[in-house]
A and B are shown apart, each in its own frame.
Chain A
Amino acid sequence: MITLLESRAVNKRFGGLKALTDVSLTIRKGEVYGLIGPNGAGKTTFFNVLTGAYAIDGGEFVMNGAELPAATPHLVVQHGIARTFQNIRLFRELTALENVMAGHHIRSSAGVWGILTQSRAAREEERLMQERALEILDYVGIGRHADTVARNLSYGDQRRLEIARALATEPQLLALDEPAAGMNATETVGLRTLVETIRGDGITVLLIEHDVKLIMGLCDRVAVLDFGKKIAEGTPAEVQRDPDVIRAYLGGHRAH
């Protein structure tokens, strides 16, 4: 088993609140890794620190053996990590196609001069980018909405578009923050198929999810966060039996 991403004793504080305390995980190449835990456990914060949206207060992330740069999201993407957001964040005035093409930004290289003079290389790149973006839209199942402005898409399609945009950055690790939130049963099944396809194509998936059934069916391994600490890690079956996990899920009615 080859390790893709490792978090080593990662810490994050917000003022007095310890949102993450010494969180260490190991994600292997090709697996679907679930991150679960009650609301406010620190799952989204883990994503934010991983992708550089927030500065890290201690610890480090190692991807393919190299330490990830801290607090510079655009560099983290170059290391092969792409994410989606818990509350969808699309480019609302762009079409689905244009959203995905924007996702290609770092995998393209035309400069100002090439664009202004419409050099052959720039034109060719633009054409390829568009072709590739259409393929990705088909791949996630919203090819027919390529020319629809993002804000006019249905909720489920917006979720898919966000995944498509992330895939366009050609990641090795795709981090999905509650992708099934707000979806109906049919949409959730579709999403599950999509994640399985993505995994089948060799992309490792890090999945935050509330829907326990989805997690249990989809994930190879799961880690459980509670109050910013990892309280369990293992196969879904192991984790389900863990007394700490049961306590965290059953005992916890909390403010958040």
Chain B
Amino acid sequence: MTTTSSALPLPASFAFDRRVQRPLVILLALAAPLIALAMGKSWVRVLDFALLYVLLAIGLNLVVGFAGLLDLGYIAFYAVGAYTWAFLASPHFGIHLPFWIVLPLGAAFAALAGIALGFPTLRLRGDYLAIVTLGFGEIIRIFMNNLNQPINITNGPQGIDSIDPLTIAGLDLSRDLDLFGFQISSLLLYYYAFLACVVFAIILVRRLQISRIGRAWAAIRDDELAAKAIGIDTRMMKLLAFALGATFGGVSGGLFAAFQGFVSPESFSLMESIVVLTMIVLGGMGNLAGVIVGAIMLTALPELLRHFAVPMQMALFGKTLLDPEVLRMLLLSLAMIVMMLVRPAGLLPARTRYAHRDRRNA
């Protein structure tokens, strides 16, 4: 390939020292919702969703970026997690289990779904997987839409509402917290809960990445035949990536159901899978920091378009030629194509490490 990952031409002062960079990122992550709150509650909501997407993108990155398996039905695992929560913690069946049961169960179901799907398909030609997972995503959606009869399981297209919120140690995150006379918004509570999940996920994924398993995945991605030739059981390793990635999807799905209080098949369309895929393509497949930035950018995109693109078009043409939703699809599809053609290493090209040592050359 000719287009390699040259570093961005940034001024030297911009390339922070590691020791400065890390505290700065932590500070930013902690302060972000407070800044957003100053701009209006809806922006905090956007941040909450951004964190859920970050979680999803981290999981999909494990499958696509590390192991090189193109999963186009990833959102189905998100759906499995969300519906697990909706079934087991809502008035729909009258079951109200606590999060520490529902969330692991959702993750486990998602992992099982991943194994069930991966087991027959992963021994095949790599690119068949893309189409099989695409089909799988659609099947799950068709079932969600139609399993309201003869027995009402999913409540069909209407979806399930009044879902139990996330309640940790008696603290209901859906209510504003009154702390010594200060009102702490529910949106902030969710933000910090999700942030904790994201940090935990990053730690786990980093550990996997710098391990014999992470290297085996990268080996399969770079050259499957050579990976086999050094004794890697490629099928098992792919299955592992698939199941672990699905687990992340299941967890974020459960959190999504709790946060939103409502799930319906509409939230799990193919478009959502594509959005998450674009997040990791933008960030640079395999590169965790880039993937996180990509996820945040794309979650904020619809809001930004709503706030800026519409008024801008009004000012320029006197009417809205492209509504924000169309504009978003246009930008997403163009992003995918242009990134692959021009910057396959992502917007923030960074070396992904698979050993504890630093790399010399970029």
Contact = CB atoms under 8 A, between A and B. Distances in A.
A–B proximity contact (CB within 8 A) = yes
Interface of A: 51-53, 73-74, 77-78, 82-83, 85, 89-95, 97-98, 101-106, 108, 110, 112, 115-116, 118, 122, 125-126, 129-130, 146-149, 152, 165-166, 168-169
Contacts of B218: 91, 93-94, 98, 102
B209 to A, nearest CB: 10
Given A94-B222, A166-B230, 13 more contacts: A53-B225, A77-B231, A89-B225, A90-B222, A90-B223, A91-B226, A93-B286, A95-B355, A95-B359, A110-B211, A130-B357, A152-B361, A169-B230
Contact of A94 (B211, B219, B360): B219
A49 B127 CA distance: 25
A93 B286 CA distance: 11
Most buried by A among B228, B351, B356, B361: B228
Interface of B: 204, 207-208, 210-213, 215-216, 218-219, 221-223, 225-234, 240, 244, 286, 351-352, 354-361
Given A53-B225, A78-B231, A102 B215 contact: yes
Contacts, number: 128
Contacts of A106: 230-232
B355 A115 contact: no
Contact of A74 (B222, B233, B355, B356): B233
Contacts of A97: 355, 357
Given A89-B225, A148-B360, A112 B231 contact: no
Given A98-B218, A116-B208, A118-B207, A147 B359 contact: yes
B228 A126 contact: no
22 contacts: A73-B228, A78-B231, A89-B225, A90-B222, A90-B226, A91-B222, A93-B222, A94-B215, A94-B222, A97-B357, A98-B215, A101-B354, A102-B227, A102-B354, A108-B212, A110-B211, A112-B213, A115-B208, A115-B212, A130-B356, A130-B357, A166-B230
B354 to A, nearest CB: 5
Contacts of B223: 89-92
A92 B222 contact: yes
A98 B355 contact: yes
A73 B229 CA distance: 6
In order of increasing CB-CB distance, the 8 nearest A-B pairs are A77-B231, A106-B231, A73-B228, A91-B222, A89-B226, A147-B360, A102-B215, A115-B211
